[in-house]
Amino acid sequence: MNSRAARLAIGRAGRPGLVPALAVFVALAAVVALASRAHQRTLLQESRARLTQQLTSYATALSAAVTQRFALVLGVRAFVQTEGASDPAHFERFAERLYNSTEGILAICLIRDGVMRARYPLSDELDRDLAHDKRSTVWQEYLRALRTPHISVTGPYELVQGHGGLGLVARHAIQENGQPIGAVAIVLDLGPLLRQVNVDPMPAGLDLALRDGAGATFHGRPGVFAEDPVVQRIALQDGAWDAAAVPRGGWHQGVRRPVWFFRLAGLVFAGLLAFVVYLIAQRVAARQQHVRDLARSEAEVWRKALRVIGHEINNSLAPVTSLVHSAKLMTGQPAMLPRLAPVLDVIGERADHLRTFLDEYAKLARLPPPVKAAVDWEAFLAELALLYPFKLEGGSPSSPGYFDRAQMHQVLINLLKNASESGGPAGEVRMRIGLERELTISILDRGAGMNAEQLARVGEPFFTTKRSGTGIGLHLCREIALAHGGTFQLAPRPGGGMTASVHLPREP
| Least confident stretch, 76-80, 371-375, 393-397, 466-470 | 466-470
CATH for 84-194 is: 3.30.450.350
| Topology annotation, domain 373-505 | Heat Shock Protein 90 (3.30.565)
Q: Which pairs count as long-range contacts for 148-156, CB under 8 Å and 24+ apart, including other chains?
A: 148/173, 148/238, 149/173, 150/237, 150/238, 151/70, 151/73, 151/74, 151/237, 151/238, 152/238, 153/70, 153/236, 153/237, 153/238, 153/239, 155/190, 155/212, 156/190, 156/212, 156/218, 156/219
Q: Between 363 and 290, whose confidence is greater? A: 290
Of 178, 154, 174, 155, nearest to 74 by C-alpha is 174
What pLDDT, on the 0 to 100 scale, is given for residue 430? 92
Cα 112 to Cα 174: distance, rounded to the nearest angstrom? 9
pLDDT tops 70 at residue 312: no
Q: Is the pTM of this model over 0.95?
A: no
pLDDT tops 90 at residue 243: yes
pLDDT tops 60 at residue 95: yes
What pLDDT, on the 0 to 100 scale, is given for residue 452? 75
| Least confident stretch, 58-62, 119-123, 240-244, 437-441 | 119-123
- Grade residue 83 by pLDDT with cuts at 50, 70 and 90: confident
- Residue 271 CB neighbour total at 10 angstroms: 15
What pLDDT, on the 0 to 100 scale, is given for residue 6? 46
Q: Is 404 exposed, middle or buried (0-12, 13-18, 19+ CB in 10 A)?
A: buried
- Grade residue 79 by pLDDT with cuts at 50, 70 and 90: very high
Q: Which pLDDT tens digit goes with each residue over 330-340?
A: 777 776 667 77
Instruction: Read off the pLDDT of each residue in 249-255 and give the average, rounded to a whole number.
Output: 87
Cα 159 to Cα 136: distance, rounded to the nearest angstrom? 16
- Grade residue 360 by pLDDT with cuts at 50, 70 and 90: low
List the domain boundaries for the chain.
84-194, 373-505
In one-letter notation, the amino acid at residue 469 is: G
pLDDT tops 90 at residue 213: no
What pLDDT, on the 0 to 100 scale, is given for residue 317? 63
What pLDDT, on the 0 to 100 scale, is given for residue 11? 47
Q: Which pLDDT tens digit goes with each residue over 264-280?
A: 999 999 999 989 988 88
Q: Is 394 exposed, middle or buried (0-12, 13-18, 19+ CB in 10 A)?
A: exposed
pLDDT tops 50 at residue 13: no
pLDDT tops 80 at residue 366: no
Q: Which pLDDT tens digit goes with each residue over 151-202?
A: 998 888 876 554 557 888 999 999 888 899 999 999 988 888 899 899 888 8
Q: Helix, strand, coil shares of the chain as percentages rounded to 5?
A: 55, 20, 25
